[in-house]
Chain A
Amino acid sequence: MADIEMRGLEMRGPELTGPEERAGGLAALPGNLMMWILIFSELAVFGAAFIGFAVARVLDPATFAAGQAHLNGTAGALNTMVLVTSGYLAARGVAAGRRGAVAQARRAMMMAAAVGSVFLAVKAMEYSATLGAGLTIDTDTFFTLYFLLTGFHALHVVLGIVILLLVSRSGPETMPETLIENLETGAAFWHMVDLVWVILYPLVYLIR
């Protein structure tokens, strides 16, 4: 048994530095437990809202199809690529922090935040096109739900960028364990924002 574990560890290259061995239960999750409690509640809320959106569409398919025809699905796909790339950079930042490469970890987190801000720029262009066409949150059920869901998600993107910038400021005076926990906690929130978007995008933009 010990032999197998040893070999398992040896197979990891330096690039694959994994998380420290974690205990079971809640301690098995990366980062601060409070962040995970927030993540669980966010996933529950978004999940309920997504099911609500699907039900509302079935009850009024014509209004939803007409509304969806105004959305830019290509911009949504672009934004998916932006978010998963930003999430990748944040995950690399965590790995760098675990290796003790603090400067690299901070850089990765700042880059993740910078790429994340591209999402907001694309979203702003989409909103201005929609609002410019005279379609607002009051137009119909579809646009009410569209602006509520994407707006609520975009607020999480803003908060995620702030959190990434905060954890990237963990200085050299920070204890290594604290630095790693900060990086993991910030990245965990950011990955949740990513996860919510990969469901929101096909649900709101593509399925019709």
Chain B
Amino acid sequence: MTHFKKIDRLTLSWLVLIGLTAVTLLFARHGDAGGSVGIAGAALLLALAVAKGREILLHYLELDQAGPGWRLAMTGWLVLLCGVILLVTTAGALGWIGPH
């Protein structure tokens, strides 16, 4: 615990970003082998993207210092964009929209 306190917030963000990217590496290996990730896989990948984007917005871009309006607007953009991508991907996987 005392060791943990020596890590400042920025370094913690970097470690979180590297850790989350390591998780996507598992998907990368699966994908390089030619597999589909499915709806749950797509949801997890986009959730990881939101988590990474949030670290970048709040701690690299310092929106944690910029007030609730900016935080909401920028994380809102991130969540909305990934949400729309998931919605479109799910609609395709379920056959609601598609080539046929």
Contact = CB atoms under 8 A, between A and B. Distances in A.
A127 B67 CA distance: 41
A174 B59 CA distance: 26
Nearest to A73: B28
A198 B23 CA distance: 13
A100 interface: no
B61 A28 contact: no
Interface string A132-164: 000000000000000000000000000000000
Given A19-B65, A81-B18, A73 B31 contact: yes
Contacts of A43: 77
A74 B28 contact: yes
Nearest to A12: B8
A199 B53 CA distance: 8
B66 A22 contact: yes
A92 to B, nearest CB: 7
Contacts of B53: 195, 198-199
B32 A73 contact: yes
Where chain B touches its partner, the secondary structure class is helix
Contacts of B10: 88, 91-92, 95
Contact of A29 (B14, B24, B66, B85): B66
A87 to B, nearest CB: 5
A203 B92 contact: no
B66 A50 contact: no
Contacts of B63: 29
Nearest to A82: B21
Interface of B: 8-11, 13-14, 17-18, 21-22, 24-25, 27-29, 31-32, 34, 36-37, 41-42, 45-46, 48-49, 52-53, 56-57, 59-63, 65-67, 70, 77-78, 81-82, 84-85, 88-89, 91-92, 97-99
Interface of A: 13, 15-16, 18-19, 22, 24, 28-30, 43, 47, 50-51, 54-55, 57-62, 65, 68-69, 72-74, 76-77, 80-81, 84-85, 87-88, 90-92, 95, 187-188, 191-192, 194-195, 198-199, 201-203, 205-208
Given A61-B99, A84-B14, A206-B27, 7 more contacts: A16-B9, A30-B65, A47-B77, A54-B89, A61-B98, A194-B60, A207-B85
Please name the 3 residue pairs, one residue from A and one from B, whose CB atoms are nearest each other, closest first: A73-B28, A58-B92, A88-B14
